[in-house]
Chains A and B, each alone.
Chain A
Amino acid sequence: MKDNDTHGNADDSPVEMDGGTVTQAAQDHRNTDYLNREVNLLKPSTPFMRDHLRVVWTGFIIWAVIVFGPVTLTAIAPDAMTTRIPALGFPLHYFLVALGAPTGALLLSVWYARKRDALDEKYDIDPSRVDTGVEDDADGTGDATATDGGGQG
């Protein structure tokens, strides 16, 4: 059984995990001091950043293919790319660029946002629970509940 109570705040509800254990990823997250780890796009320094960048780069490569692939293919093989799509009537290159690329970017965006949410879950992060380890008096209200976003994400 790992120690659940690494947070100092009394008002922090105990983390509810299935079976009461904390995953390795969540443990890593708690043991990471993010303000003392370098930020470098090419050299991720924390497990979270590594996982995140894997998603980011995968998405970026697929995106580049969707966006610049069809037009490049059209430059290389104009005849094949300008054939008509049966039923729809569009030339293939026109369809892939005018409808394919924007729609592809939208689907990729949904995919990324879901993946990123899954990462929060994996690392046991609740975006609605503000826990910065600082006293909540930055805005002078002294009222902790006013800044925590109301608990609903």
Chain B
Amino acid sequence: MTVPLQAEALDISFKLIPAIMVFLMMASFLAIGYVFKVADTEGMWVAGRGIGNIENGMAIGANWMSAASYLGLAGLVALAGFYGLAFIVGWTTGYFVLLIFLAAQMRRFGKYTAPDFVGDRFNSPLARALAAFTTLLIAYVYSVGQARGMGLVGQYVFGLDIIPMIVVMMTITVGYLALSGMLGATKNMAVQYVILIVAFLAGVYAVGFTEGYSTILPQVEYGALFDELGRQFSAPFENGSYYIWVATAFSLIFGTCGLPHVLVRFYTVENERTARWSCVWGLFFILLLYWAAPAMAAFGVDLFEVVTGSSAYAAEGGMSGAEGDVIVVLAAQFANLPTWFVGLVAAGAMAAAIATTAGLFITASSAVAHDIYSELINPDATQRQQVLIGRATIVVIGALVTVTAFNPPALIGELVAYAFSLAGTVLFPMFFLGLWWENTNQKGALAGMTVGLLLWIGSIINSVLPNYVGFLGEAAGESGALVPLYAQYVPPIGAALVGTPLVFLVTIAVSLATPEPPLETKKMVRQCHSPEPMGQQQTAEDIVSNSGGDTPADD
């Protein structure tokens, strides 16, 4: 069930102005990051203190929006109809769960990468390495979706065949990564957000306006199109059962709460109140795109029929997976908007994908070099060795991602969703139980994470690998899965619906059966929930180790 690669309807040729726009956009990210570059750690803290609700909310939005939001979402809504809405719900409403259960507590804990949190909360280098391995897997799977998006949209701008295009785009990404590292350019995410959202919304408004679909509020006006769109666009459970719908939404929601690159945004804020309010603002800024994505999908599906003469859902000449994945760009092209304008929409998509991939690669390299290599394999690793290992990781993972993207097993949005179901299964329970039940202990965490990892890897081997590995494919036969029943209830895209509760149960059961964690650890958890304000630079650990027996309200 691999997805067709070429988007036939897309105008594939080299276009100078859009190409320049892509490079200008990337250059502006670097330049702005360089200008706002912070001189030293002290400078960073001062700047950190200045980051308010709205700015941090935009940063959350920029961090969040990759090719999966920009391209994949509209593609799924266009192709999978009502099932595609599970992605809209899953990638937005999770922020409420994050807000009420984790945002402020994480801010107080003071450790943000998954390996750091897991390692410190459960006092275990092995748990830390497991979390790092999970992070690495997430980065890999997540990047495959980005690489596919870059390759497809890159075709519109640069006009190469898809395989050389993916190679070129991944090379640009690694170059961007190296440059931003060299310039010390911490990405200015608020600016990045503004560029991306303007490019996307400009596309929606322009298509809606020029084609007469909408005027001032395309987000609601596309409702009038439902008669023409064909029943596949909105009929419930055509492309996925109720179970798979709920499983997908569930995985995305709790994956949101387990993704380290989301939590890291609470690092720079002044206090927990800012953490909470910037989470609210972040959701609002994300919704600006998510309200409009289905409108773009509806316009695209309708235009597809007008331009190609056959229904988007027809068996012959219908919309292919690759066309669905670029529908945002395709709709702008079908609407006969000027090339530079379509180029703007395409450049936004590529910028989102490149920036996200660069971030994921950094995460992956630090997980390997720092959390796995120097924590577990070679504790005496020198700085130089760590840097080497980190670079090697980027090269290896870059190559793996590139090769996988040549022949992807699913649409962009679905690929990224695999990463979410992994995060929701393995990391979310560790964050949640670690923060909300002080008796969660090391053995419980190790058992829980192992079970979660095995369950997710099992679902990938069961229903994704048979497409690639000959003997697995033969064993799977017609159904495409080794164990059809497992594929039905634990699909890779919705593995968390079974996985998260299972990991909770295992972690709780093992924690109850083994000795409680040390008092220091418990106090650290209590400090995360205390309403007493704490300093910007303080972590829960500092407070606990400083306090001794002397606590603020002992009178």
Contact = CB atoms under 8 A, between A and B. Distances in A.
Interface in A114-153: 116-117, 119-120, 123, 125-136, 138-139, 147-150, 153
Given A29-B531, A112-B96, A125-B533, A39 B273 contact: no
B279 interface: yes
A109 B219 CA distance: 21
B249 interface: yes
A75 B237 contact: yes
Contacts of B179: none
B93 A63 contact: yes
Interface in A75-93: 75, 78, 81-82, 84-85, 88-91, 93
Nearest to A135: B546
B101 A56 contact: yes
Interface string A32-73: 111111111100000011001001100110010011100110
B533 A35 contact: no
A37 B270 contact: no
Contacts of A147: 535-538
A108 interface: yes
B438 A71 contact: no
Interface in B203-241: 219-220, 223-227, 234-237
A98 B88 contact: yes
B112 to A, nearest CB: 18
Contact of B242 (A34, A71, A135): A71
Contact of B436 (A41, A108, A150): A41
B552 A133 contact: yes
A85 B223 contact: yes
Given A131-B532, A134-B546, A147-B537, A113 B99 contact: yes
Given A78-B236, A133-B552, A109 B531 contact: no
A78 B235 CA distance: 9
A63 B271 CA distance: 25
Contacts of B89: 67, 97, 101-102
Q: By DSSP majority rule, is chain B's interface helix, strand, loop, or mixed?
A: helix
B337 interface: no
Interface residues of B, number: 78
A63 B438 CA distance: 26
B437 A39 contact: yes
A34 B287 contact: no
Contacts of A38: 438, 522, 526
B532 A139 contact: no
Contacts of A63: 93, 96-97
B99 A112 contact: yes
B438 A93 contact: no
B283 A109 contact: yes
B547 A134 contact: yes
Nearest first, the 10 closest Cβ-Cβ pairs linking A and B are A133-B552, A34-B530, A89-B223, A105-B93, A102-B92, A90-B223, A41-B436, A147-B535, A75-B242, A88-B223
Interface of A: 6-7, 29-41, 48-49, 52, 55-56, 59-60, 63, 66-68, 71-72, 74-75, 78, 81-82, 84-85, 88-91, 93-95, 97-99, 101-106, 108-110, 112-113, 116-117, 119-120, 123, 125-136, 138-139, 147-150, 153
19 contacts: A31-B553, A32-B553, A33-B552, A34-B551, A39-B438, A40-B439, A60-B97, A66-B93, A85-B223, A89-B227, A94-B85, A95-B223, A101-B89, A109-B283, A113-B277, A128-B270, A132-B534, A132-B547, A149-B271
Interface of B: 49, 77, 82, 85-86, 88-89, 92-93, 95-97, 99-101, 104, 219-220, 223-227, 234-237, 242, 245-246, 249, 253, 270-274, 276-277, 279-280, 283-284, 287, 290-291, 294, 436-439, 522-523, 525-538, 542-544, 546-547, 550-555
